[in-house]
Chain A
Amino acid sequence: MSRLKTMVLKEAGTPPLRGGHSLCQGCGIPMVVRTIIDSIETPVVVVSATGCLEVATTRFPTTAWNVPWLHVAFENAAAVVSGVESAYRALARRGALPQEGPITFVALAGDGGTYDIGLQALSGALERGHRFIFVCYDNEAYMNTGVQRSGATPFGASTTTSPTGSAALGKAQQRKDMTAIAAAHHIPYVAQAAAAHWQDLSEKVGRAANAEGPAFLNVLTDCPVGWGHEARLSPRLGRAAVDSCFWPLYEVVDGHYRLTYLPKAKVPIEEWLEPQKRFAHLFGPGGEAIRTEIQRQVDAEWEDLVMRSEQR
């Protein structure tokens, strides 16, 4: 049976995240969340960090969630899920769970709740080896509070706290390599994925769910509002991110790097940058130097990744 049909059957008419929420028209997050939960065979319990997904899906008294869901604060999704997962193991040990059978714990956080304010709790949880999947839906800025820059915001991007003007040309710093940070914790499974490559994402989720320990997924997720483009452009843009090697698709399994997608033809970075208003200034005065630098960074990181990868 096709992967998508399997996912349909997993939903069984009750999507884990149903409509009626107030995420933006064309938001990239829900399909990432549904792809992930629908690709996990066991029942799922979700822990969400504060952010777009949490706020827009749980405005009291409504909820868009059909699975057990917990939100506590912004920086602590990984710590909260550590507690939930520990409770699960303690209760399972003494036969006190409400139902028999495995549960997969999924923490969902944006790049803010992962790269920046969430980094400490994530690092601790990964080091302690709790069994859960931490998913970063990376839309490259603090979108929920109005598109402020984060540690995930790409070099040169315009955000409301790293705006362009006569004195500045967007974010002046290179973004963190969060996937590498996660891999440095010696956890069994780490992967970088993109919403636009749903099948690759789905397969990675399957491997993450089977990992005997923490798994980390960094998923490039479109934000039409924050990135400045028509919503319907998201799938094309996501493919440009991957084909330009701006966002390589790879996994790290027990420390071994493996590329999961090799672009047939690497496209220039402009194909990724040009359709987004947050990079519009890079096509004006002074922009070319920055575009050149971005291309250089992307190429260098891609070369480095290729060197580290073994094709398995």
Chain B
Amino acid sequence: MAQLTWRDLPIAGVVGPDTTPRPRTGGWRTGVRPEARLELCVDCLLCWLYCPDSAIRLDGTAFAGFDYDVCKGCEVCAEVCPTDAIEMVVDDAA
């Protein structure tokens, strides 16, 4: 971005989802991240819906993990999980 000239930039700043990178907002986490105990998960999909960062991975309609590249650690998924399958653990990477 620092080196692109006015001729290089798209006209009027119009971009598409494929032409732009996805910022890694996982760096926003401040010490905790979600982890799931799959044996408790009933694939209700509420975490998928409520996550503000679309950070719940699915395999079809089954829970398949967290996208830690964008998860901000807000804990809403842990809150809505009806079976307490999600808990917030210490995030060593933070």
User: Is there any pair of Cβ atoms, one from A and one from B, under 8 angstroms apart in the complex?
Assistant: yes
* Chain B residues positioned under 8 Å from A275 (CB to CB): none
Q: Is A234 an interface residue (CB 8 A)?
A: yes
Contact A20 B74 (CB under 8 A): no
Residue of B nearest to A9 (CB): B61
Q: Is B54 an interface residue (CB 8 A)?
A: yes
* Chain A residues positioned under 8 Å from B51 (CB to CB): 30-31
Contact A60 B13 (CB under 8 A): yes
Contact B25 A234 (CB under 8 A): no
Residue of B nearest to A60 (CB): B13
Q: Is A66 an interface residue (CB 8 A)?
A: yes
Contact B25 A22 (CB under 8 A): yes
Contact A27 B61 (CB under 8 A): no
Once A231-B76, A233-B79 are accepted as A-B contacts, the answer to whether A30 and B17 lie under 8 Å apart by CB is no
Count: A-B pairs, CB below 8 Å: 110
Q: Once the chains are docked, how many angstroms separate the CA of A26 from the CA of B67?
A: 15
Q: Is A29 an interface residue (CB 8 A)?
A: yes
Q: Which of A1-37 contact B (CB under 8 A)?
A: 2, 4-5, 7-9, 13, 15, 17-23, 25-31, 34-35
Give the residue of B22, B28, B55, B76 whose beta carbon is less than 8 angstroms from that of A235.
B76
Residue of A nearest to B29 (CB): A25
Contact B25 A21 (CB under 8 A): yes
Q: Once the chains are docked, how many angstroms separate the CA of A66 from the CA of B16?
A: 8
Q: Once the chains are docked, how many angstroms separate the CA of A51 from the CA of B80?
A: 27
10 pairs, CB–CB < 8 Å, chain A vs chain B: A4-B61, A5-B61, A18-B22, A18-B70, A19-B53, A19-B69, A26-B74, A60-B15, A61-B9, A198-B50
Binding site for B on A (CB under 8 A): 2, 4-5, 7-9, 13, 15, 17-23, 25-31, 34-35, 60-66, 198, 230-236
Other A-B pairs, 19, CB within 8 Å; known A18-B54, A31-B51, A62-B21? A5-B45, A13-B58, A19-B54, A19-B55, A20-B22, A20-B53, A20-B70, A22-B23, A25-B52, A26-B52, A26-B72, A31-B49, A60-B15, A61-B9, A61-B13, A61-B19, A61-B20, A62-B22, A235-B50
